[in-house]
Amino acid sequence: MGRPDAVAVGDPLIMAGKTWRSRLIVGTGKYKDFAETRAAIDASGAEIITVAIRRTNIGQNANEPSLLDVLPPSQFTILPNTAGCYTADDAVRTLRLARELLDGHALVKLEVLGDAESLYPNMPETIAAAKTLVAEGFQVMVYCNDDPIVAKQLEEIGCIAVMPLASLIGSGMGILNPWNLQIILDRVNVPVLVDAGIGTASDAAIAMELGCDGVLMNTAIAKARDPVMMAGAMKKAVEAGREAFLAGRMAKKIYQAQASSPTDGIIAPRKS
């Protein structure tokens, strides 16, 4: 390529004092097997990956490999989430377990869901959990609705990143309300990452072009017909959207277009 890309010239994502070259965070669920999971995550270039915390199946497959064998904390920043939690209390307990599991790791993704059908976040419970977790020293990246007032409140509580949804988890509907994201970006100083709802590459590019600091996705990659190829597409889409944002797009003009070719020097119409 004719130029060093934005990443190489130094445009890192900075959260909680750490820097990352990739602005794409990916989940590890819904894959066919661990091999596909690993291949897709490698193709995505993600440095941060989310994991869920679940009960062991007592006495079963004690010797099967575990997720963290395939995706070791030595190679990736593991971001434990609270998927499946519907109360502040369950979310807090889950992340305390995660911290113990990961040897004191503090960076976590908080999500408290409202109901199992929509998987829409329950913001009052999320706010309550965020207060507790911040007080306990967690570095909280918080999944939230696209309410700019709530997003600002989560920043004030001490969350290190706010992650509004683009659309419902697993819906692949893309960014349903870019205006709310814009208002959030105008108000919030911590990183804003779009989480949930991304369906294809252009959705990720649009999120970045709005000025978001990153994108988190899982289903869009895992449930593509070719997850590994889609992971590569998402990597490029996030970089393309970020670079387009930094490059400053042309103005939109519904009308009064100006030709890309000069308008003088046209050859003379032939006399008929």
Partner 1 sequence: MIAITLNGESRQFASPPTIAQLVEQLELAGKRIAIERNGEIVPRSRYPELKVADGDALEVVIAVGGG
From 26, 29, 21, select the one nearest 53 (Cα to Cα). 29
If the CB atoms of residues 36 and 147 are measured against partner 1, the closer one turns out to be 36
Contact 248, 211 (CB under 8 A): no
**Smallest distance from partner 1 to CB 83, Å:** 5
If the CB atoms of residues 7 and 17 are measured against a copy of itself, the closer one turns out to be 7
**Smallest distance from a copy of itself to CB 133, Å:** 16
Q: Give the torsion sign (CA, 99, 112, 179, 231).
A: positive
Contact 81, 91 (CB under 8 A): no
Q: Is 109 a catalytic residue?
A: yes
Candidates 13, 78, 144, 190: give the one binding partner 1 (CB under 8 A).
78
Give pairs for 53-61: CB < 8 Å, separation 24+.
Answer: 53/80, 53/81, 53/82, 53/94, 53/95, 53/97, 53/98, 53/101
* Of residues 171-230, those binding partner 1 (CB under 8 A): 217-219, 222
Contact 121, 150 (CB under 8 A): no
**Smallest distance from a copy of itself to CB 16, Å:** 23
State the catalytic residue, choosing from 109, 223, 236, 252: 109
* Total site size for partner 1, rule CB under 8 A: 46
Compute the distance between CA of residue 99 and CA of residue 94 in angstroms, rounded to an integer. Answer: 9
Residues at the contact surface with partner 1, assessed by CB under 8 A: 27-31, 37, 50-56, 58-59, 62-63, 66-68, 78, 80-81, 83, 93, 96-102, 169-170, 217-219, 222, 259-262, 265, 267-268, 270
